[in-house]
Amino acid sequence: MSAESPSAATFNRRLAILLAMAMFVLVVDTSIMNVSISAVVRDIGTTVSGVQSAIALEALVSAAFILIGSKVGDLIGRKRAYIIGLLCYAAGAIAMTLAQSLLPIIIFWAFVGGLGASLLLPSMQSLIHGNFEGAAQKRVYALVGGSAAIAAAVGPLIGGFITTFLSWRIAFLLEAIVIGVVLLGIKLIHDVPYTGSRRIDVVGSILSVVGMGGVVIGILVWQEGEGPVLLLIAVGLLGLGSLAYWLIRRKRAGKATLLDPTLFFSKPFRLGVTQQMMQQIALGGTMIVLPIYLQMVLGYNALQAGLSIAPLSLSMFAIALLAGRAKRSRRPATLVLWGFVLLIVGLVLLVFVVPRAESGWLLLGPLVIAGVGLGLLVSQLNNYTLSPISDERVSEAAGVNSAAGSFGLSFGLAFAGAIMLASLALVFTFLADSSSVLPAEDKQQVAQVLEEDAQIMSNELLAELLVDQPEAIQGEVIRINTVARPIALQIALLIPIFAALVGVIGALRMRRVPDPKPSGSGTETLLG
């Protein structure tokens, strides 16, 4: 532990809350943008595809540069990188507040904000590592992780409410104000000095951009449902494979590396990063399919859908705080195991409840169970992965951890969403072909209409679309729609369930290795 952080062993509540506020803004920003697309398009006279391109660019830049961002934090100082990251986000929020065209949104919100995220995520985790230790560090990791979960869940709710009743510009102005409040408390943060090599690995940096960028572009294209998905992901994987080879080769030659490949020689670190990815895949998959289901089956608006999903995020946040505050009586691996088990139980219950649910209230029990499981995971995984890392290596470790989480969330969102829509198309076609009511010559047309026009429609909106059709045809199409959508959701929920099952296997492996020792415990640290 650095001599500059003598209070690291104590719990500074104000600093912990400010760090959680920073993470909240980081996560909620994109959620607000997503629900404000139509209002932004109308107010600045642009196109939906233009705004969606800005959202995709922000995700791409933050993912592509996150490993470089962790190294930049080493070179300029973790505290300075944290401040610059916050200022980049503030610039994006202010640009959104004042924008009269798409160009400033692309430049400041997407590109500058994406670079800010690549600096902010690893530097924040490094500063938590350097400003807290032991039980206090565990509590802060849980608090910050819980705030991210709350932001992911209530972001659409907040954005939808402000956009509907006030203006999307107000939402981004509030973001800038929150960032200002966080920056006012910057003196509370002690920097974490870096004493390692300051040489720059240019080739490794380029390969990391190609690798992470290629994979994320592939996922984004996949999410849109068109384009050379496999080629892009293959380029990304090739880039990541080349990066791994390059790092090992450079390390053996004693030359500078973007990140130290010996990080991955640690089994606890590998397990922690993998479990972080599985948790985020499960969270992303759940958070994409449930809002779609609530809006297209139950006819909920964004506000009602957000309220229905709130039990998941609230229970997740509460359990993360409680588990983070609890005295250490159980091994982290055991809590992680229980977290994934409860997540599976909650999701499996959802699979059975969904066809019978006529209201979001019926999802309450399963969502609370799943939220408790996710809360246990949030309270443990960051601390398990990063607490044993030495101050010298914590930025690169935090960068890898953040990259794994970002990739998992993006993959879960894209894959589960794609599976849900693909399942809808298949079930629509099957039920239309099997119908004894629809005329043979109309079956293909009905399947096509349901696939292309009704994927996000409730039965009420679909009835309006079919108003000119005979009553028997209307009733049969509504029946097909009613049967197909719960089936599609059930199939899509298998994605987060499978991720949680992989997490259970990983947790059993975690139990077979000794718990990692915190770097401030006075014992030998990982890569210290």
CA distances from 52 to 26, 114, 137, 171, 216 (A): 18, 15, 38, 18, 15
The torsion angle over the Cα atoms of residues 110, 114, 120 and 123, rounded to 10 degrees, is -170
What's residue 502's pLDDT? Answer: 95
d(CA 352, CA 335): 26
d(CA 452, CA 297): 16
DSSP result, 434-480? H-SSS-HHHHHHHHHHHHHHSTT--HHHHHHHTTTS-HHHHHHHHHH
d(CA 50, CA 28): 21
Of 511, 516, 157, give the one whose Cα is nearest residue 338.
511
383 phi/psi in degrees, rounded to 5: -65, -40
d(CA 498, CA 479): 30
The sign of the dihedral angle between the CA atoms of 449, 454, 455, 459 is negative
**Is the Cβ–Cβ distance between 458 and 296 less than 8 Å?**
yes
Of 396, 375, 374, 372, give the one whose Cα is nearest residue 385.
396
Report the amino acid identity of residue 375.
G
437 phi/psi in degrees, rounded to 5: -100, -40
The sign of the dihedral angle between the CA atoms of 495, 499, 502, 507 is negative
What's residue 504's pLDDT? Answer: 94
Collapse the DSSP code of 197 into the 3-class scheme (helix H, G, I; strand E, B; otherwise coil) and give the result.
coil
Burial 376-415 (b: 16+ CB within 10 A, else e): bbbbbbbbbbbbbbbbbbbbbbbbbbbbbbbbbbbbbbbb
Q: pLDDT truncated to tens, each residue of the chain (528 aa)?
A: 444 444 444 667 888 888 888 888 888 887 777 667 777 888 888 776 677 678 777 877 887 788 888 888 878 888 888 899 999 989 999 998 998 888 888 899 888 988 888 888 888 878 887 787 777 777 888 788 778 777 776 777 777 778 777 888 888 899 899 999 999 988 888 877 766 666 777 888 888 888 888 887 787 777 666 678 788 888 888 988 898 888 888 888 777 777 778 778 888 888 888 998 899 889 888 877 787 777 767 777 666 777 777 788 788 878 877 876 666 667 888 889 999 999 999 999 988 887 777 777 888 889 999 999 998 888 888 778 877 777 667 777 777 887 788 788 778 877 887 788 778 778 877 777 777 777 666 666 666 665 555 455 556 666 666 666 677 777 777 787 777 778 888 888 899 999 999 999 999 998 888 877 766 543 344 444
d(CA 169, CA 498): 39
Helix 364-386 vs helix 332-353: crossing angle, to nearest 10: 150
Q: Which helix (H) or strand (E) holds 68?
A: helix 66-76
4 phi/psi in degrees, rounded to 5: -80, -5
pTM score, whole prediction = 0.79
d(CA 240, CA 262): 16
Residue 519 burial (CB < 10 Å; 0-12/13-18/19+)?
buried
